[in-house]
Amino acid sequence: MAASTRAAFGVKHIAKGIGRLSNIVFQKGQGSFVWTDEGRKLLDFTAGIGVVNLGHCHPKVTAAAQAQIGTLVHGQVNIAMHEPMLNLIERLKPVMPDPSLDTFFFWNSGAEAVEAAVKLARMATKKQNVVVMQGSYHGRTFGTMGLTKSKTVYGSGFAPFMPGVLTSPFPYCSQCAVAGADPTMGFENCCNNPIHELKILLKQQSAPSDTAAVLIEPVLGEGGYVVPPPGFLPAVRQICDENNILLIFDEVQTGFGRTGRYFASEHWAVRPDIMVMAKGIANGMPLSGIVANKELMDKQNPGSMGGTYSGNAVACAAGIACAEVMQEEKVLENVAARSKQLFDTLNALKASPKTGHLIKNIRGLGLMIGLEFNSPTFPTLVPKDVPKGVASKVQAKCLENDMLTLTTSIYETIRFIPPLTVSEEEMKTGCEILTKAVEDVAR
């Protein structure tokens, strides 16, 4: 099929319900770049939504998957254990954010693993309710649709969802940011105090005796790339401990080096009872998992867990290679250096008289960085001359200049999630494309 007709064929025959940034057709990927079927080379600052953390088709990961595919593809977990899974556990155990997290189970997608974490929490505590954060994204399966609070379109028309889900605010106050306060400095003096709200929720809506777990992305992903202030997660941990509630961290997007630590919870030294992993775990091979303390994990009834493709052998082999590459290539060191490079560019855009008026907030950790523009969403607080939808306009300009980026669900934010292996030169190119895009939109 000719490249010119291929995109039209896809538009016609792929379900319309799949939201898509573009009708570009990817043909191949290598490192920080993807190539389209028309030979266009794009700098990929989406990494497939934070999945190909080690770059597209990392040679070592590819070789490991290729070797495994000729050895054992499918070692069904309800029939037997398989070598790659055991080797993967051996590799993952030392990098867990807490040594108590020692018992694993694997699935294919992030949403399946989130559901498994909720199932475990319900069975282990014999309680029903789960508290999630405003703006959270946990997936789109029937179970996770009710846990996802980042965009109404993900659930609209599909209700009713799983009962027993309550929503508490995540600490980011757009109003305070506009008023000049740094929303990462603390929540105590903010007009929205999420710890206070969580305590009220446990008094007014869901008694601790009915609440199985609080489920949180340590850095809010799709819902805005929001880094919580330093006291937030420790305070949530304390509330959970005092009320016999389990704390689940969804590290699907934040895990495997994305925020500059192996897992984001390490930034605050807060231990989850259950941690959910996916995306970067296998650099694009479908693999996800949960980890918990053995005593907790084994509260599930024997035989209650499983899935045909869970913890696929090829995906596990890729996961082992990823863990090796993380160490061998000193990936976390690269994240720190490239993060600084990107933050410097964003700060320069804010300081510039040409573009500064467009920019409201810069936030993020490692290579999970959001650039928020002023938006008419909060009309009373925004200068009148700010055009609507700045983030989407900047995103479109970046794409015109061959760079892929994503936006977040609200807060008029463009998000940057390049491969963690992005080179200094590639980051420089990305920063130049972005600077030009913001300048063009500001004009």
Provide the minimum distance between the beta carbon of 435 and ligand PMP in the complex, in angstroms, as a whole number. 28
The residues near 430 (Cβ < 8 Å, ≥ 6 apart) are 43, 45, 342, 403, 416, 418, 422
| Segment near ligand PMP (CB under 6 A); pick from 93-101, 133-141, 200-208, 311-319 | 133-141
- By the rule CB under 6 A, 169 interacts with ligand PMP: no
DSSP string, 190-215: SS--HHHHHHHHHHHTS-GGGEEEEE
- By the rule CB under 6 A, 415 interacts with ligand PMP: no
Residue 135 · residue 223 · CB < 8 Å: yes
SS3 (DSSP) at 150: coil
Rounded to 5 degrees, φ, ψ at 5 are -100, -15
Provide the minimum distance between the beta carbon of 260 and ligand PMP in the complex, in angstroms, as a whole number. 17
Nearer to ligand PMP, 253 or 395 (CB): 253
- By the rule CB under 6 A, 258 interacts with ligand PMP: no
- By the rule CB under 6 A, 114 interacts with ligand PMP: yes
Distance CA 115, CA 147 (A): 9
Nearer to ligand PMP, 135 or 229 (CB): 135
Distance CA 287, CA 312 (A): 7
- By the rule CB under 6 A, 92 interacts with ligand PMP: no
Nearer to ligand PMP, 114 or 335 (CB): 114
Nearer to ligand PMP, 250 or 426 (CB): 250
- By the rule CB under 6 A, 257 interacts with ligand PMP: no
Residue 247 · residue 236 · CB < 8 Å: yes
Residue 430 · residue 43 · CB < 8 Å: yes
- List the one residue from 55, 139, 171, 364 that touches ligand PMP (CB under 6 A): 139
- By the rule CB under 6 A, 110 interacts with ligand PMP: yes
- By the rule CB under 6 A, 418 interacts with ligand PMP: no
Burial of 78 (0-12, 13-18, 19+ CB in 10 A): exposed
State how far the alpha carbon of 123 is from the alpha carbons of 302, 367, 384, in Å.
Answer: 12, 36, 53
Binding mask 208-237 for ligand PMP (x = CB under 6 A): ---------x---xx---------------
Site for ligand PMP, rule CB under 6 A: 49, 109-111, 114, 137-139, 217, 221-222, 250, 252-253, 278
